Structure 1
Amino acid sequence: MEFKTINPHNGETIGVYKGLTDDELAEKLDNSQKAFESWSKVALSERCTLLKKAGQVLREHVEEYAKMISLEMGKLISEARNEVKKCASVCDYYAEHAESFLADEIIKSDASKSFVSHQPLGAVFAVMPWNFPFWQVMRYAAPTLTSGNVGLLKHSSSVIGCAQLIEDVFKKAGYPKNVFQNLIVSHDATEQIVSHHAVKAITLTGSEKAGSSVAALAGKHIKKSLLELGGSNAFIVWEDADIDKTVEIALTARMMNCGQSCIAAKRFILLEGVYDEFVEKFTAAVKNLKSGNPMNEETTLGPMARKDLADELQKQITNSIEQGAQLIYGGNQEGCHHEATVLGDVKPGMAAFDEESFGPLAAMIKADSIEHAFELSERSKFGLGVTVCTENVELALSHVDKVSDGAYFINELVKSDPRLPFGGTKISGYGRELSKDGIMEFVNRKTVYVK
């Protein structure tokens, strides 16, 4: 099988890659078990040193890696550079903290000595998406490899060039052979991988459909899984918010990465008293976005990653307008380039409210009270995160329990940070990445008891 990566801006072929045969895949899986047997015995201090070197490699090759990201999935080159730098930061974080995170946890009991020891599991299989092709992989790989596991990556077929470069990061950093392997395979190979004796856990970032399929396979073979799936984050604006500052935050929260992020703000729930002002100022800011080639520094809105994704967004916009939403601005599409779009008077039951809109579409929703705003926020099958913008931080903190999502941000867009746990609820998935939680997901917390 052959895979091609395509530049979404101009349709040109970037790379052609030969997929693995069943026998080649089986050999790589066997090699991962052999690598684990030796890698798991390497001193944690040495694993941390290698991770620090991986961060250095990322910084030394920022331009090379950022260019591949932009070419393969259309991310603005400035955003691509920031993504690579963020990957270096997650390497630094776990290189510094892994030893304390994985230290024995002493627990007093009837024993003369009792504690929890943290030991690696084996190979952890990662199925990763195209929208943050470096970050999604590195935030899994940094803690997972450092805890003594080995990594197997099945990346999106549209960013295989990025996947190859990520594998090369670990080679350049001096990691032993086969500790991290990129697998160029189709989705059809997933069960062969999950069922292999070397694979002890699976992590997936992607769509609800992909998550459900992989979780079912993990359950079938009784292997741990972590899912980070879609989102339809609410961005709630109270009447006391500083609207100018809030609009600035909101524009980034919705349009960064051309809106192609699970944690992007997608439903703007505005109190009646600020609805008109917010919509007017947000729309004015959207009009100033400059669409074009993501490799050009002056471009502020690149293409979507694939035409079928842009087509799906266009369908959601059309359906929402037919259901009664007001087209305030935008709504046009040309190939992978989709105009930034603002819809007003969006209500539950409309596509722009009920579905995840993975692109530059902002849905404006009116709420008649703070309580109503939280009720609208909760009327979603997704549960990744919520933003509340207000001058009354203490009041906002008192409403944390009104939100069932995995994150609650006040006066800031929902974002991931190596120091904080990240993950969702409902159909946004389960498990946590990053912080201490992230490294604990794929270790054996072994109870040790001495009488």
Structure 2
Amino acid sequence: MYTVTNPATGELVEQIPNATDEEVGAAITRVHNAFPAWRRRPATDRAKIVLRAAELFAERADELARIMTLEMGKRINEGRGEVGVVVEIFNYYGQHGPDLVADQPMSIRGGEAVIQKTPLGALLGVMPWNFPCYQVARFVAPNLVLGNTILLKHASICPRSALAIEQILHDAGVPEDVYVNTFASSRQVPSILADPRIQGVSLTGSEAAGISVAAEAGRNLKKAVLELGGSDPLIVLDSDDMDETVAKTAPPGCATAVSPATRRSG
């Protein structure tokens, strides 16, 4: 079940049933069948759609920020800031994507060669709750320009963010079967990866989730990109400027932390 619970009040706002196995299978069919036509479209055309998506994200920043606040408790100003980063990502790949995917001639001993970047096909994205828009953007924008199609499973507490993002992309001109949101459960992810029509996966989540997805991807020889939980140590030297160090490291280190201030006193 995908459930929206107001973090401030505990009020149950909305519940959306998980997709059935048949519905998940139909979603896979859609993104798989859409791939040949999408990859044939010129990269410049796909990039224009990505640029239009950037414009729509900017126009709907307040709406997206309000959804994030309602679903996962992010302050609305932080939500607006997150959408600003999303706009930058889509603009970057819209502007530079065609050059990034262009053929690269190269000289080799005794002749010439060309490096060609070709899309894989239908990809699965498994997204976390903490940055509902940013995490999707960094996966989706480059893959749309490259020519891949996308099946997106968002976090179970972020269904409204998932639907709002899908609507923006479709309004920007992404064909409905090129980007498909699914309310699949975590239980269904292994079977999605086992489907031969899915060519790869990108996951942001816990180490446990990463182990499970990596094992399934390896078993099926699927490409996998994993960003897993963790926090690197911070090493501060005597010669460092402490004020500058604190100013630059404290905000990202504490972002999205749930921290009752009354329990931090003393």
TM-score for both structures, normalised by structure 1: 0.57
Task: Tell me if the contact between 1:76 and 1:257 (Cα under 8 Å) persists in the aligned partners.
Answer: no
Task: Tell me if the contact between 1:201 and 1:225 (Cα under 8 Å) persists in the aligned partners.
Answer: yes
Task: Tell me if the contact between 1:79 and 1:257 (Cα under 8 Å) persists in the aligned partners.
Answer: no
Report the CA distance between 1:121 and its aligned residue.
Answer: 0.5
Letter in 2 for 1:142: A
Report the CA distance between 1:116 and its aligned residue.
Answer: 1.1
Report the CA distance between 1:143 and its aligned residue.
Answer: 0.4
Task: Tell me if the contact between 1:6 and 1:15 (Cα under 8 Å) persists in the aligned partners.
Answer: yes
Which residue of 2 is the match for residue 321 of structure 1? none
Counterparts of 1:223 and 1:175, CA distance in 2: 25
Which residue of 2 is the match for residue 410 of structure 1? none
Letter in 1 for 2:48: T
Letter in 1 for 2:185: S
Counterparts of 1:253 and 1:54, CA distance in 2: 27
CA distances 1:105-138 after superposition (whole Å, capped 9, x unpaired): 2222245431111110101101111001110111
Task: Tell me if the contact between 2:2 and 2:158 (Cα under 8 Å) persists in the aligned partners.
Answer: no
CA RMSD of aligned residues (A): 1.8
Q: Decide which moves more: 161-170 or 208-217.
A: 161-170
DSSP 3-state at the match of 1:203: strand
Q: Which has the higher strand share?
A: 1
CA distances 1:69-89 after superposition (whole Å, capped 9, x unpaired): 111111111111000110010
Counterparts of 2:263 and 2:67, CA distance in 1: 24
Which residue of 2 is the match for residue 423 of structure 1? none
Residues 74 and 105 (structure 1), Cα distance of their counterparts in 2 relative to 1, 3 Å cut: same
Counterparts of 2:263 and 2:32, CA distance in 1: 47
Q: Decide which moves more: 73-82 or 16-25.
A: 16-25
Q: What aligned pairs does 1:92-131 form with structure 2 within 5 A after superposition?
A: 92-110=91-109, 112-131=111-130
CA distances 1:31-70 after superposition (whole Å, capped 9, x unpaired): 1111111111111000000000000010000000001111
Gaps of 5+ in 1: 259-303, 305-332, 344-451
Letter in 2 for 1:182: N
Counterparts of 1:26 and 1:75, CA distance in 2: 33
Larger relative contact order, structure 1 or 2 (CA cutoff 8 Å, min sep 6): 2
Report the CA distance between 1:102 and its aligned residue.
Answer: 1.0
Task: Tell me if the contact between 1:29 and 1:198 (Cα under 8 Å) persists in the aligned partners.
Answer: yes
Which residue of 2 is the match for residue 179 of structure 1? 178
Residues 212 and 37 (structure 1), Cα distance of their counterparts in 2 relative to 1, 3 Å cut: same
Report the CA distance between 1:7 and its aligned residue.
Answer: 1.6
Q: What aligned pairs does 1:48-197 form with structure 2 within 5 A after superposition?
A: 48-110=47-109, 112-197=111-196
Q: Decide which moves more: 182-191 or 232-241.
A: 232-241
DSSP 3-state at the match of 1:132: coil
Counterparts of 2:127 and 2:59, CA distance in 1: 24
Counterparts of 1:30 and 1:21, CA distance in 2: 14
Which residue of 2 is the match for residue 28 of structure 1? 27
Task: Tell me if the contact between 1:45 and 1:99 (Cα under 8 Å) persists in the aligned partners.
Answer: yes
Q: Decide which moves more: 95-104 or 148-157.
A: 95-104
Which residue of 1 is the match for residue 218 of structure 2? 219
Pick the structure with greater CA Rg. Answer: 1
Count of residue pairs the alignment pairs up: 266
Residues 186 and 236 (structure 1), Cα distance of their counterparts in 2 relative to 1, 3 Å cut: same
Residues 97 and 342 (structure 1), Cα distance of their counterparts in 2 relative to 1, 3 Å cut: farther
DSSP 3-state at the match of 1:119: coil
Task: Tell me if the contact between 2:98 and 2:145 (Cα under 8 Å) persists in the aligned partners.
Answer: no
Letter in 2 for 1:184: F
Report the CA distance between 1:13 and its aligned residue.
Answer: 1.7
DSSP 3-state at the match of 2:235: strand
Counterparts of 2:207 and 2:128, CA distance in 1: 12
Q: Decide which moves more: 164-173 or 227-236.
A: 227-236
Report the CA distance between 1:235 and its aligned residue.
Answer: 2.1
Counterparts of 1:338 and 1:210, CA distance in 2: 31
Task: Tell me if the contact between 1:54 and 1:173 (Cα under 8 Å) persists in the aligned partners.
Answer: yes
Letter in 1 for 2:178: V
Report the CA distance between 1:97 and its aligned residue.
Answer: 1.1
DSSP 3-state at the match of 1:78: helix
CA distances 1:281-335 after superposition (whole Å, capped 9, x unpaired): xxxxxxxxxxxxxxxxxxxxxxx3xxxxxxxxxxxxxxxxxxxxxxxxxxxx7xx
Counterparts of 1:104 and 1:339, CA distance in 2: 58
CA distances 1:377-418 after superposition (whole Å, capped 9, x unpaired): xxxxxxxxxxxxxxxxxxxxxxxxxxxxxxxxxxxxxxxxxx
Counterparts of 1:90 and 1:10, CA distance in 2: 33
TM-score for both structures, normalised by structure 2: 0.94
Runs of 4+ in 1 over 4 A off after TM superposition: 337-343
Report the CA distance between 1:341 and its aligned residue.
Answer: 4.4
Letter in 1 for 2:205: G
The sequence identity of aligned pairs, in percent, is 34
Counterparts of 1:226 and 1:254, CA distance in 2: 23
Which residue of 1 is the match for residue 204 of structure 2? 205
Residues 174 and 90 (structure 1), Cα distance of their counterparts in 2 relative to 1, 3 Å cut: same
Counterparts of 1:339 and 1:99, CA distance in 2: 52
